[in-house]
Amino acid sequence: MRLTFIGAAQEVTGSCFLVETDYVRFLVDCGMFQGGREARERNLKDWPFDPRQIHFVLLTHAHIDHAGGTAELAERLGLPIIGPHPGDQYWIDGLPQQSQMFGFPPAGHFTPTRWLADGDTVQIGHCTLNVRHCPGHTPGHVVFHSPEAKRAFVGDVLFAGSIGRTDFPGGNHAELISSIRERLWPMGDDTVFIPGHGPESTFGEERRFNPYVGQR
């Protein structure tokens, strides 16, 4: 599994990861960048990969910095959209309003090809991604976990040294903490997680030292 950071690494917005295996190429999230002229230009640029080689898009949740570019790309190429959980219907319906509210370019509404629920799986060639519903940051947030690769795409649930915000509509701090402790920690201390923004870490590191949810 080869991972390319299209956005998100050292970024506050524009979360998007290109994942390549021997069998498929797909995106985890497809967000827009927020800001002034530079951000607008980045949103209008061509993708830094050949989008015709993408097979589908996985979505962790429907905030615009994770899902704002999904509708245009999927419509242009006929790509399946997998995820998030139906709890994020509110945020999908509100993508056009999100773009106005947060200073993004116009974002389109979309209907996922497949909604996801806790315990679902997504087959990636010979690899299986397990789906965990992890509400708190948004009601319909999901996490994708590969036990084989010991990797997890956690969106905005957990960060290195921090946790996701819960002050947006539908956010719930208690649910977020429960999602982390009851659904992420059991994936194993040695599992490397890829957050929606910022550097990677391991669940073990965060369980021990994260000031918001760790043991110390």
Task: Write the pLDDT tens digit of every residue in 119-148.
Answer: 999 999 888 999 999 999 999 999 999 999
Q: What is the pLDDT of residue 2?
A: 86
Does 53 reside within a domain?
A: yes
User: What confidence score (pLDDT) does residue 37 get?
Assistant: 44
Residue 168: which domain range?
A: 2-209
Residue at 159 is within a domain? yes
Tell me whether residue 216 is in a domain.
Answer: no
Q: Which residues of the chain have pLDDT under 70?
A: 7-13, 33-48, 216
Contacts of residue 137, defined as CB under 8 A and 6 or more positions apart, other chains included, come to: 61, 155, 156, 157, 164, 165, 166, 168, 171, 176
Give domain status of residue 193, yes or no: yes
Let me know if residue 215 belongs to a domain.
Answer: no
Q: Which residue has the tokens 């990677």?
A: 200
Token pair listed for 65: 């910095």
For 87, which DSSP code?
G
- Number of structural domains (the chain) is 1
Domain harbouring 151, CATH code: 3.60.15.10
pLDDT at residue 13 in the model: 60
Distance, CA of 50 to CA of 111 (rounded, Å): 23
Position 168: which residue type? F
For the chain, first and last CA: distance in Å? Answer: 33
Any domain includes 202: yes
Which two structure tokens, joined as six digits, stand for 151?
Answer: 């990797």
Q: In degrees, to the nearest 5, what angle opens at C-alpha 139 toward C-alphas 136 and 145?
A: 75
User: Does 7 map to a domain?
Assistant: yes
| Residue-averaged pLDDT of the chain | 89
Reported as a single tens digit per residue, the pLDDT across 167-178 is 999 999 999 999
Instruction: Please report whether residue 165 resides in a domain.
Output: yes
Task: Please tell me the pTM assigned to this model.
Answer: 0.91
